[in-house]
Structure 1
């Protein structure tokens, strides 16, 4: 199918746009003043994402958002602070150096990673490096405190069916293949958490804008969705986005990867049903403040996931 590349971007705020008292508090925690800030593109946060240079020579990465701009993003930052504190040594993730939370502004400060996001459209060698890194990540056991699969945005088919049966949704905009099978998809979606179960540490939201290519391989950033899941979970959720951004066919890539070859086919299809619903169901919701491309991004991912699902079913 044709590729519709949609950028992953929110409305970025420069570091200088953060209130003075918040910036002073962050500098106090770091024990140094910020002398330069470079805003980073890519990703969906409607707040700050910047590389900072401090007056003692250190470099850090900071992300910050106000709940008044987007309360969901503020809650995601708080969730990420809790999750990254649980990541075991050796996880390919930046280390959290400090945080600030006054109930409105939430700021996370990470060590700076010397790396860059993959090129889009995907280049073969860079994709190979990321697929290898996913294989290495799947070797890490999930630590205590990282939860097993649960709702967290899944269950969209069930929500759509409930609204349809109540006469509140006419299924407008959904593919005819989906409309004909909407109850079947919702029923199968109910089993996704069991199908995705496992003991592996999973990032839970692998996309190009959450990856930094480094001299040693790849580092994954933005960990609010991390969970305990099957080893192949991250591979599966990444492939619709990779395909949408110029990458290869998801089924072929999954089947060729060691994680995909070892996966139970029925479990994979069940989780793919839920992932397809997550994207296509989310795309039908109103756009959140400060995230103008999110719904189009979800729709493009959902279209790729649906094409893959139709092959498997």
Structure 2
């Protein structure tokens, strides 16, 4: 059975400042009588399922800049995106948000369910169908174009065009990081892989993408429907990106390669583009394991090492095929 690989160290709801918890109770209209802290994901902030005295249930996320200076930015982006796309059963509804310039908090609909077991072919099939539907719905709700630069909104979205160029720059400078866990076959052709990765940035970038589809950001309702959580990485990118991420749980299996043909966007861009993306992100994560400085994120480096090895291993397998 698959379980989340991204598991951080969070504060509990009891550790959240009183001004934030007071806002939660005032917003919900009832005193919180129980909280169940959640552990998935990398944020050092609180993530808790709450039950109020009147029976109201809610999910609350809260973080302060003192815990990690970057995480409040992710929370603000999530608030902006959820306000933009509104309500839909594919994601948890945003009920209210709080921002005092230091602490940022969200009250979300509490979704009944658990992380999906993506080792189950049926459940994986449900995820792929849900990812396809997500792309359609997001396109409908950003019909004027998800440019993030005057195209109808600017929510501080991540920009995949810039990210692809960052991946390429990492490959260009790979010789400067001899300690990064990057295989020799990548180092020997780093310049070529950098050029291919820049080619990905030429793809159309007009789609709102979740960009963080992984098991700890997914719930499966008791009735089987998949729900996408945590929109802090959402941005503007190509239409094939979310379908690709939805398949990454099995990137180290032949199933991954065979599954690409079932996605119209992935079939359109072809195998070379998928392999190039795996090399780009895998190398970038590997270099970050020796260059990044993380505040209150003690498990993030091991996550980077594990994911980098999976992505680069998958790229090597695909090149041998």
With structure 1 as the length reference, what TM-score do the two structures score?
Answer: 0.85
Name the residue aligned to 1:194: 202
1:149 to 137, 156, 160: 160
Instruction: For 2:117 and 2:167, locate their aligned partners in 1 and report how far apart those are by CA, in whole Å.
Output: 31
Determine which of 222, 225, 229 is the counterpart of 1:217: 225
Measured on the aligned residues, the alpha-carbon RMSD in Å equals: 2.7
| Corresponding position of 1:279 | 285
Check conservation: 1:156, 1:282, Cα contact below 8 A.
no
Measured in 2, the distance between the counterparts of 1:267 and 1:160 equals 16
In 2, Cα distance between the equivalents of 1:68 and 1:81? 20
Q: Which runs of 5+ in 2 are unaligned?
A: 143-151
Q: Which residue of 2 aligns with 1:108?
A: 106
Secondary structure of the 2:85 match is: coil
Which residue of structure 1 lines up, in the alignment, with residue 295 of structure 2?
A: 289
Match of 2:178 among 125, 145, 170: 170
> After alignment, is 232-241 or 217-226 more displaced?
232-241
Q: Which runs of 4+ in 1 moved over 6 A?
A: none
Residues 242/87 of structure 1: CA separation in 2 closer, same or farther (3 Å cut): farther
Q: Who is 1:63 aligned against?
A: 61
Match of 1:86 in 2: 84
Separation (CA, whole Å) in 1 of partners of 2:57 and 2:3: 32
User: Which residue of 1 is the match for residue 146 of structure 2?
Assistant: none
Match of 1:206 in 2: 213
2:136 aligned residue (135, 139, 154):
139
Once the two structures are overlaid, the 10-residue window that deviates more, 296-305 or 14-23, is 296-305
Q: In 2, Cα distance between the equivalents of 1:113 and 1:248?
A: 33
Separation (CA, whole Å) in 1 of partners of 2:63 and 2:254: 35
Equivalent position to 1:183, from 171, 175, 191: 191
Residues 95 and 108, structure 2, Cα contact 8 Å, conserved in 1: yes
In 2, Cα distance between equivalents of 1:267 and 1:55: 53
Q: CA deviation at 1:235?
A: 2.0
- Superposed CA deviations along residues 53-109 of structure 1, whole A, max 9, x for unmatched, are 122221110111121011111211111111111115436111111111122211111
Q: Secondary structure of 1:303's partner?
A: helix
Q: How much does 1:157 deviate?
A: 4.1
Q: Is the 8 A contact 1:95 1:111 kept in 2?
A: yes
Residue 184 of structure 1: CA displacement? 1.5
Paired residues, what number? 303
State how 1:20-31 maps to structure 2 within 5 Å.
20-31=18-29
CA positional deviation for 1:159: 3.3
Report the alpha carbon displacement of residue 11 of structure 1 after superposing the two structures with TM. 0.9
Q: 2:172 aligns with which of 149, 153, 161?
A: 161
Structure 1 residue 131: deviation in Å?
Answer: 1.5
Alpha-carbon distance between aligned partners in 2 of 1:94 and 1:222, rounded to the nearest angstrom:
9
Question: Shift of residue 280 of structure 1?
Answer: 2.7
In the other structure, the counterpart of 2:241 is 233
Distance of 1:286 and 1:64 partners within structure 2: 24
Q: The residue matched to 1:13 in structure 2 has which SS?
A: coil
Structure 1 pair 7–264 and aligned structure 2 pair: CA distance change class (3 A): closer
